[in-house]
């Protein structure tokens, strides 16, 4: 029997509900308000239970709620619908499809309106892969349907425990997500009907794989500073903290276009709606070079922007990672980008404040760290039961108060991620984009280039920075020519390799192969000895070399000019090293 | 039929608690005491106990005050009769006009479905080169002016409001000095704009809770006009007063503060207001220009900091000028591509040269030798500041771009300014006034003369976007 309750308190988006019967932590309920003609059911979730009173956060505006308003408990945790048709969708944090909501409600979001995440009418061409009598467990493939460019696996529901026998499986044909496509029998002989859609509680990790492996393969993003110097691995985690305007969102937007993965899930978490609009209006128009199809075909957008209900913002990152994990089960590489995880942390802080919990640093809840750790732990590179591999990579931006990284969210995140791309105000002010600080940032993952070679150039960056500090004090006059050349080298390395113009079609993304090619030349320029005795001449040389590189960076690598320019630069370096 | 109660249990700050039933969360009540009658809003329900926030403050409210619940949340009248009028933060007439009662609308309305938003494309022309050329304002943008108290931010707002071609101006004043209110009113009036303006003004001497209502009332009104097809410009000054009002109330309610006393939901509260900026496809639009004063001129203070994360850029007003560094219009790319082909180039080139000027100035102050190139930069910087940055400059975008070329040509050779040669051929003014007053060549001329190449390298945005 369904448990019922009644409101006994309202404080912001938090309600206290007295109930009869049994309820569970994180169980979802609905508050019913209004009269019969105009009834609204507002979704809410239990966040604490004390005796016969449950404290619940409401995923909507709580205006007009009253003491004694009835609450129905659903018996379920907050779940996501998983099945074919997730790709290309634009959902809110609770997986409501926003375009369909707009069709129904117009310009504004209307509280209490919930729509099915997966379309119930669409027919999918199902091809069975399992046969009657097969013994399967959760996550094993029953059949497939084509979803855009992917072969979408219809799997044994993740929630089923132990081995099941296929009692019947439907013939190839077109079905909706609600039609039964198979019947499984569990160890005790109970029949379990299966459709192409399943539900999964978003706050629980999906782990129907054989084993989790160490992330060891670079996930190229096309951003040279990342792939070469501070790489990300498939199945790894990374964070991008930075003050406002430093370029976090632009960096994620370029990554979402160019990252070498199968599927990208974008979780726009509590930041500007306008930025999501750019993505959702532009992606359908942009061709994905790897597939020739629209970029939207491989994208899912979860959009719970800053003015949307705060509790749903908290749910949005979990919804995002659940959808990402679902596609990983099909042997795909999925990238989840969350912008910004600080807004999620702030949602937790608001909740914690309303619960009057004892606050930690900057009033964030004491359990913030473990929640952040848990979230990033849902990334991973896995071997599935059929021997194929899949991954979920998570990249989150962090928006630290005052741009100061010494704050709880940045610090807690740094403890658990595998790479750190710290954006600096100084670099973005100087328009050195991407503003990833080459001295502060780090990564534990393998680069597209050999470690030792990268390390040598890193040293030049560090030493060049030291010299530039010194020049500020003693002037160029007081700097030795050798130091000065190191400084010029580091400036050039920064300008031609680290800096990248996100708005130039060619320069915006550099594929791994081209990075290796470029690196050969840059390395040559960096490691050559130039016997200049005159600073003016040295500067002139590096300036013109820099310009050559930048021009080269903007040439399509398919053009013959690409090779010509590379060779010319190579020659220029050799000549300078020989004669100067 | 409205229920009336006569006993108040607790009083603190602007908050009172009493026992009552059948009360809805968010509804209004009328609290009458010896000192008069005030509206109040239900902000908490706890069993039979109801917490109210009293708009006029709880001062003078007695334990036997009369509380009458009104059964509905805050609503304000909406019609064309608002135009030319000014109201308080509780939407009562501030002028001598009649009280309006018709066509009540909700405030604090739900947010726009992101799927219904469109990419903004119209520039709002201000005739201020630091905005039009370097950080264009775009219809439906939300943009604050960051400034220390005392900077001429209200003058700037008034000037933009008069210049911008909008149908309706909504002014929301929070903690506004009475004189500043009169300044806005008179300036708009003198320029014939008052008849398309509605003002909701909380002055520094009004009750603090009314301050918190101003943005919602102003934006709800703006939204209605916009849905009726009007281009609306909302001016909010000063959002720091709004945030301070929230802080004060949160503290009297014993909420745990997060950062320098501000409540943990400061970001969400500010965002809920700023995100009202929108362009309705097939109807009007809302553009928000706000003032955020920075206590201690500190941009990391929680209010400007949180604001910067929400808004689409910011204008830094310092010493009466819009600073090129730190100022940012995140939407400028949407409008400066098609304005004129040289727009982005002038924008990039002039800013980079100004940055080099700043460095030279620093070197000069350290006593390092000035090269010929340094002298050129010094001359350039001076002209840039007086002819572009000065807020008294009032010229349309095209003239500002022409002026930009003129300044460049007066200070530099065409190949020194970091301008792609194709554009320089077309736009570089043919004869220049000077070259004569360039400094004597010095020993290190050779290396310094190449300096522009460096800035060319730093960012080639302009070139690529052609
Ligand atoms: N790679 C880049 N190339 C050129 N401009 C950039 C780049 N990254 C950021 N910008 C500029 O900085 C602005 C702010 O970037 P954004 O990513 O929105 O910052 P954040 O998300 O950190 O607040 C952008 O509107 C753009 O003008
Ligand atoms: Mg951002």
Model confidence band, residue A1 (pLDDT cutoffs 50, 70, 90): low
Residue B20 is assigned to a structural domain of this protein = yes
Residue A407 is assigned to a structural domain of this protein = yes
- Cβ count within 10 A of residue A189: 8
In sequence order, which residues have a C-beta less than 8 Å from that of residue A343 and are 6 or more positions away? Answer: A269, A270, A271, A306, A313, A399, B267
Residues B80 and B67 in one domain: no
> What own/partner pairs with CB < 8 Å and gap ≥ 24 does A187-196 have?
A187/A162, A187/A163, A191/A167, A192/A157, A192/A160, A192/A164, A194/A142, A194/A156, A194/A157, A195/A83, A196/A83, A196/A84, A196/A124, A196/A126, A196/A145, A196/A154
Whether residue B257 lies within 8 A of chain A, CB to CB, comes out as yes
Residues A405 and A520 in one domain: no
For the question of whether the overall pTM of this predicted structure is more than 0.90, the answer is: yes
CATH code of residue B223: 3.40.50.12240
Q: Quick one: pLDDT at residue B130?
A: 96
Residue A98 is assigned to a structural domain of this protein = no
CATH code of residue A11: 2.40.30.20
Which chain A residue's Cα is nearest to B326?
A429
CATH code of residue A179: 2.40.50.100
Residue A547 is assigned to a structural domain of this protein = yes
Residues A471 and A502 in one domain: yes
CA distance B353 to B366: 20
Residues B92 and B180 in one domain: yes
Residues B57 and B86 in one domain: no
Tell me the ligand closest to A253's alpha carbon. 1
* For residues A451-466, average pLDDT: 96
State whether the Cα torsion B60-B62-B66-B70 is positive or negative: positive
Q: How close, in Å, is residue A444 to chain B by CA atoms?
A: 29
Residue A182 is assigned to a structural domain of this protein = yes
Which one of B114, B280, B453 has the shortest CB-CB distance to A543? B453
Whether residue B465 lies within 8 A of chain A, CB to CB, comes out as yes
Residues A337 and A409 in one domain: yes
Residues B88 and B199 in one domain: yes
Residue A204 is assigned to a structural domain of this protein = no
Q: Quick one: pLDDT at residue B403?
A: 97
Helix (H) or strand (E) holding A315: helix A310-328
Count chain A–chain B contacts defined by CB atoms under 8 A: 216
Residue B113 is assigned to a structural domain of this protein = yes
Cα A256 to middle of ligand 2, angstroms:
14
Q: Quick one: pLDDT at residue B447?
A: 42
Model confidence band, residue A580 (pLDDT cutoffs 50, 70, 90): low
Residue A443 in 3-state DSSP? Answer: strand
Q: Which domain holds residue A158?
A: 124-196
Chain B positions touching A276 (Cβ under 8 A) are 114
Number of domains in chain A: 4
Residues B86 and B184 in one domain: yes
Model confidence band, residue A501 (pLDDT cutoffs 50, 70, 90): confident
CA distance B342 to B402: 10
Residue B450 is assigned to a structural domain of this protein = no
Q: How far is CA A355 from the centre of its chain?
A: 29
Q: Which of B337, B363, B387 is the last residue of a domain?
A: B337
Would you say how long chain A is, in residues? 580
Cα B329 to middle of ligand 1, angstroms:
10
Supply the residue whose CA is at minimum distance from atom 24 of ligand 1: B330
Interchain contact, A349 vs B456, CB within 8 Å? no
Q: Which of A226, A242, A246, A250 to mutate to test the pocket of ligand 1 (most atoms within 8 A of CB)?
A: A250
Angle between helix A535-553 and A560-579 (nearest 10): 170
Residues A163 and A219 in one domain: no
Residues A360 and A242 in one domain: yes
Whether B373 contacts B349, CB under 8 Å? no
Supply the residue whose CA is at minimum distance from atom 26 of ligand 1: B330
Q: Which domain holds residue B414?
A: 343-430
Whether B314 contacts B328, CB under 8 Å? yes
Interchain contact, A501 vs B461, CB within 8 Å? yes
* For residues A306-331, average pLDDT: 94
Q: Which of A169, A196, A223 is the last residue of a domain?
A: A196
Residue whose token pair is 């009032």: B394
For ligand 1, what atom is nearest to the CA of residue A500? 1
Q: Which of B47, B73, B99 is the last residue of a domain?
A: B73
For ligand 1, what atom is nearest to the CA of residue A244? 23
Residues A142 and A265 in one domain: no
Residue B390 is assigned to a structural domain of this protein = yes
Tell me the ligand closest to A431's alpha carbon. 1
Q: Quick one: pLDDT at residue B431?
A: 67
Supply the residue whose CA is at minimum distance from atom 14 of ligand 1: A245
Residues A392 and A494 in one domain: no
Interchain contact, A503 vs B310, CB within 8 Å? no
Say if ligand 1 is within 6 A of residue A93 CB: no
Residues A367 and A283 in one domain: yes
Which chain A residue's Cα is nearest to B348?
A431
Read off the tokens for A152. 């979408």
Per-residue pLDDT of chain B (466 residues), as tens digits, is 578 999 899 888 888 999 999 999 999 999 998 888 888 999 999 999 999 999 888 788 888 889 999 988 999 999 999 999 999 998 999 999 999 998 999 998 899 999 999 999 999 999 999 999 999 999 999 999 999 999 999 999 999 999 998 999 999 999 999 999 999 999 999 999 999 999 999 999 998 889 999 999 999 999 999 999 999 999 999 999 999 999 998 888 888 888 889 998 999 999 999 999 999 989 999 999 999 999 989 999 999 999 999 999 999 999 999 999 889 999 998 999 889 999 998 998 899 899 889 988 988 888 888 888 889 999 999 999 999 999 999 999 999 999 999 999 999 988 778 777 778 889 999 865 554 444 444 434 334 344 444 444 444 344 344 3
Residues B333 and B395 in one domain: no
Taking the alpha carbons at both ends of chain B, their separation in whole angstroms is 68
Residue A109 is assigned to a structural domain of this protein = no
CB proximity under 8 Å: A 302-361 to B: 303, 305-308, 310, 343, 346, 349-350, 353, 356, 359
Residue whose token pair is 């910011």: B314
Q: Which of A44, A76, A108 is the last residue of a domain?
A: A76
Higher pLDDT, B114 or A578: B114
Say if ligand 1 is within 6 A of residue A502 CB: yes
Residue B457 is assigned to a structural domain of this protein = no
**What are the tens digits of pLDDT across the range A5-16?**
999 999 989 999
Q: Which range is least confidently modeled, A202-211, A403-412, B210-219, B257-266? A: B257-266
Residue A101 is assigned to a structural domain of this protein = no
CATH code of residue A545: 1.10.1140.10
Residues A235 and A292 in one domain: yes
Residues B320 and B352 in one domain: no
Cα A247 to middle of ligand 1, angstroms:
4
* For residues A158-175, average pLDDT: 96
CATH code of residue A235: 3.40.50.300
Instruction: Name the residue among B239, B266, B240, B238 with its Cα closest to residue B251.
Output: B266
Chain A positions touching B44 (Cβ under 8 A) are 9-11
DSSP string, A22-54: ---TTEEEEEEES-STT-EEEEEEEEEEETTEE
Q: Which of B52, B73, B94 is the last residue of a domain?
A: B73
Q: Which ranges of A241-309 does DSSP label H, i.e. alpha helix? A: 248-258, 273-282
Residue B71 Ramachandran class (φ > 0 left, ψ -120 to 50 alpha, else beta) = left
CA distance B267 to A346: 8
Tell me the ligand closest to B464's alpha carbon. 1
Residues A241 and A161 in one domain: no
Say if ligand 1 is within 6 A of residue A250 CB: yes
Tell me the ligand closest to A430's alpha carbon. 1
Residues B49 and B118 in one domain: no
* For residues A163-167, average pLDDT: 96
In sequence order, which residues have a C-beta less than 8 Å from that of residue B1 and are 6 or more positions away? Answer: none
Chain A positions touching B313 (Cβ under 8 A) are 245
Chain A positions touching B300 (Cβ under 8 A) are 401-404
Q: Which of A386, A421, A443 is the last residue of a domain?
A: A443
**What are the tens digits of pLDDT across the range B254-310?**
888 888 899 989 999 999 999 999 999 899 999 999 999 999 899 999 999 999 999
Residue B465 is assigned to a structural domain of this protein = no
Model confidence band, residue A554 (pLDDT cutoffs 50, 70, 90): confident
Which one of B119, B271, B457 has the shortest CB-CB distance to A278? B119
Chain B positions touching A552 (Cβ under 8 A) are none
Q: Which range is least confidently modeled, A102-111, A239-248, A282-291, B63-72? A: A282-291
Residue B454 is assigned to a structural domain of this protein = no
Residues A527 and A543 in one domain: yes
Residues B11 and B53 in one domain: yes
Say if ligand 1 is within 6 A of residue A108 CB: no
Phi, psi of B227 (to 5 degrees): -65, -25
* For residues A310-321, average pLDDT: 93
Residues B155 and B186 in one domain: yes
Residue B300 Ramachandran class (φ > 0 left, ψ -120 to 50 alpha, else beta) = alpha
Taking the alpha carbons at both ends of chain A, their separation in whole angstroms is 88
Residue B460 is assigned to a structural domain of this protein = no
Model confidence band, residue A288 (pLDDT cutoffs 50, 70, 90): confident
Q: What is the mean pLDDT of chain A?
A: 93
Interchain contact, B113 vs A107, CB within 8 Å? yes
Residues B104 and B214 in one domain: yes
Which one of A7, A106, A401 has the shortest CB-CB distance to B305? A401
Whether A48 contacts A54, CB under 8 Å? yes
CATH code of residue B48: 2.40.10.170
Q: How far is CA B79 from the centre of its chain?
A: 25
Residues A135 and A270 in one domain: no
CB crowding B340-356: b at 16 or more within 10 Å, else e: eebbbbbbbbbbbbbbb
Tell me the ligand closest to B461's alpha carbon. 1
Residue A19 is assigned to a structural domain of this protein = yes
DSSP string, A49-70: EETTEEEEEESS--TT-BTT-E
Interchain contact, B114 vs A280, CB within 8 Å? yes
State whether the Cα torsion A218-A220-A223-A228 is positive or negative: positive
Supply the residue whose CA is at minimum distance from atom 16 of ligand 1: A247
Residue whose token pair is 């009662």: B101
Q: Are strands A333-339 and A380-383 parallel, antiparallel or unpaired?
A: unpaired
Whether residue B464 lies within 8 A of chain A, CB to CB, comes out as yes
Q: What is the ipTM of this complex?
A: 0.90
Number of domains in chain B: 3
Q: Quick one: pLDDT at residue B1?
A: 54
CA distance B16 to B36: 15
Chain A positions touching B310 (Cβ under 8 A) are 272, 306
Residues, CB within 5 angstroms of ligand 2 (ion): A 248-249
Which one of A306, A363, A495 has the shortest CB-CB distance to B257? A363
Residues B29 and B126 in one domain: no
């Amino acid at each position: 029997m369904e448990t019922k309750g009644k409101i006994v308190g309202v404080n912001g988006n938090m309600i206290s509900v007295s109930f009869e019967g049994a309820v569970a932590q994180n169980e979802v309920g609905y508050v019913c308000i209004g009269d019969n003609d105009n009834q609204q059911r507002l979704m809410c979730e239990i966040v604490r239970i004390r005796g016969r009173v449950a404290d619940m956060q409401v995923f909507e505006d709580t205006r007009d709620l009253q003491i004694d308003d009835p609450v129905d408990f659903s018996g379920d945790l907050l779940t996501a619908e998983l099945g074919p048709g997730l790709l290309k969708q634009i959902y809110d944090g609770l997986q409501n499809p926003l375009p369909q909501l707009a069709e129904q409600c117009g310009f504004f979001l209307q509280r209490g309106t919930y729509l099915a995440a997966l379309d119930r009418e669409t027919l999918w061409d199902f091809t069975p892969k399992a046969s009657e009598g097969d013994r399967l467990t959760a996550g094993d493939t029953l059949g497939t349907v084509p979803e855009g460019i992917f072969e979408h696996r219809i799997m044994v529901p993740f929630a089923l425990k132990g081995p099941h026998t296929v009692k019947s499986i439907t013939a190839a044909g077109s079905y909706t997500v609600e039609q039964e496509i198979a019947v499984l029998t569990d160890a005790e002989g109970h029949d379990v009907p299966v459709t192409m859609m399943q539900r999964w509680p978003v706050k629980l990790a999906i782990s129907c794989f054989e084993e989790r492996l160490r992330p060891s393969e670079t996930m190229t993003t096309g951003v040279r500073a990342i792939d070469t110097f501070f790489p990300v691995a498939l199945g790894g985690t990374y964070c991008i903290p930075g003050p406002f305007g430093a370029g976090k969102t632009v960096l994620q937007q370029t990554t979402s276009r160019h990252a070498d993965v199968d599927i990208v899930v974008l979780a726009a978490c509590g930041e500007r709606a306008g930025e999501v609009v750019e993505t959702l209006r532009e992606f359908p128009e942009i061709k994905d070079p790897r597939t020739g199809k629209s970029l939207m075909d491989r994208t899912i957008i979860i959009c719970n922007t800053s003015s949307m209900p705060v509790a749903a913002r908290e749910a949005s990152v979990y919804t995002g990672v659940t959808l990402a994990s679902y596609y990983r089960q099909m042997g795909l590489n999925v990238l989840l980008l969350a912008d910004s995880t600080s807004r999620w942390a702030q949602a937790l802080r608001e909740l914690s404040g309303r619960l009057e919990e004892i606050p930690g640093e900057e009033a964030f809840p004491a359990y913030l760290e473990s929640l952040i750790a848990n979230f990033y732990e849902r990334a991973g590179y896995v071997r599935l039961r059929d021997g194929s591999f899949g991954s979920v990579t998570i990249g989150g931006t962090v928006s630290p108060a005052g741009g100061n990284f010494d704050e709880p969210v940045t610090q807690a995140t740094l403890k658990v991620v595998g790479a750190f791309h710290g954006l600096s105000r100084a670099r973005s002010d100087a328009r050195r984009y991407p503003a990833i600080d080459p001295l502060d940032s780090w990564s534990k993952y393998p680069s597209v280039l050999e470690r030792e070679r990268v390390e040598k150039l890193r040293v030049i960056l560090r030493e060049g920075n030291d010299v530039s500090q010194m020049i500020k004090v003693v002037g160029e006059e007081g700097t030795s020519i050798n130091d000065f050349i190191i400084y010029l080298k580091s400036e050039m390395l920064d300008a031609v390799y680290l800096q990248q113009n996100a708005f130039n079609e060619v320069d915006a993304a550099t594929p791994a192969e081209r990075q290796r090619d470029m690196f050969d030349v840059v390395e040559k320029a960096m490691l050559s000895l130039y016997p200049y005795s005159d600073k003016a001449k040295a500067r002139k040389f590096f300036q013109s070399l820099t310009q050559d590189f930048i021009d080269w960076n903007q040439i399509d690598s398919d053009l013959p000019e690409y090779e010509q320019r590379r060779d010319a630069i190579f020659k220029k370096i050799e000549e300078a090293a020989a004669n100067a | 039929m409205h229920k009336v109660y006569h006993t108040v249990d607790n009083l603190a700050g602007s908050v009172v608690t009493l026992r009552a039933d059948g009360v809805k969360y968010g509804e209004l009540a009328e609290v009458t005491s010896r000192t008069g009658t005030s509206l109040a809003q239900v902000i908490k329900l706890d069993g039979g106990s109801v917490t109210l926030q009293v708009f006029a403050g709880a001062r003078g409210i007695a334990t036997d005050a009369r509380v009458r619940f009104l059964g509905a949340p805050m609503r304000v009248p909406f019609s064309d009769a608002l135009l030319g009028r000014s109201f308080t933060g509780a939407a009562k007439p501030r002028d001598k006009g009649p009280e309006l009662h018709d066509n009540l609308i909700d405030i604090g309305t739900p947010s726009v479905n992101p799927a219904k938003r469109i990419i903004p494309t119209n520039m709002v022309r201000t005739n201020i080169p630091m905005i039009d050329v370097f950080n264009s304002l775009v219809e439906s943008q939300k943009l604050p002016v960051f400034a220390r108290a005392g900077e001429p931010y209200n003058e700037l707002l008034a000037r933009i409001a008069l210049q911008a071609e909008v149908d309706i101006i909504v002014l929301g004043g929070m903690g506004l000095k009475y004189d500043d209110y009169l300044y806005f009113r008179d300036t708009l009036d003198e320029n014939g704009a008052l008849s398309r303006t509605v003002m909701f003004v909380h002055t520094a001497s009004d009750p603090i809770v009314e301050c918190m209502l101003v943005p919602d009332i102003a934006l709800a009104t703006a939204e209605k006009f916009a849905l009726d097809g009007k281009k609306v410009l909302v001016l909010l000054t000063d959002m720091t007063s709004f945030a301070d009002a929230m802080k004060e109330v949160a503290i009297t309610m014993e909420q745990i503060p997060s950062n320098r006393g501000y409540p943990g939901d400061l970001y969400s509260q500010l965002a809920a207001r700023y995100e009202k900026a929108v362009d309705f496809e097939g109807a009007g639009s809302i553009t928000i220009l706000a003032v955020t004063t920075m206590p201690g001129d500190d941009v990391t203070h929680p209010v400007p900091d949180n604001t910067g994360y929400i808004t689409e850029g910011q204008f830094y007003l310092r010493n009466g000028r819009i600073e090129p560094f730190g100022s940012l219009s995140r939407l400028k790319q949407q409008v400066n591509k098609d304005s004129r082909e040289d727009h982005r180039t002038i924008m990039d080139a002039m800013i980079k040269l100004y940055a080099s000027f700043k460095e030279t100035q620093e070197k000069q102050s350290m006593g390092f030798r000035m090269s010929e190139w340094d002298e050129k930069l010094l001359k350039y910087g001076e002209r840039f500041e007086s002819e572009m940055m000065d807020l008294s400059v009032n010229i349309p975008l095209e003239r500002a771009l022409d002026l930009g070329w003129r300044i460049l040509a007066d200070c530099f050779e065409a190949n020194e300014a970091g301008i792609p040669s194709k554009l320089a051929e077309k736009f570089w003014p043919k004869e220049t006034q000077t070259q004569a007053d360039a400094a004597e060549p010095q020993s290190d001329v050779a290396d310094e003369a190449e300096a522009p190449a460096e800035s060319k390298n730093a960012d080639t945005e302009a070139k690529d976007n052609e």
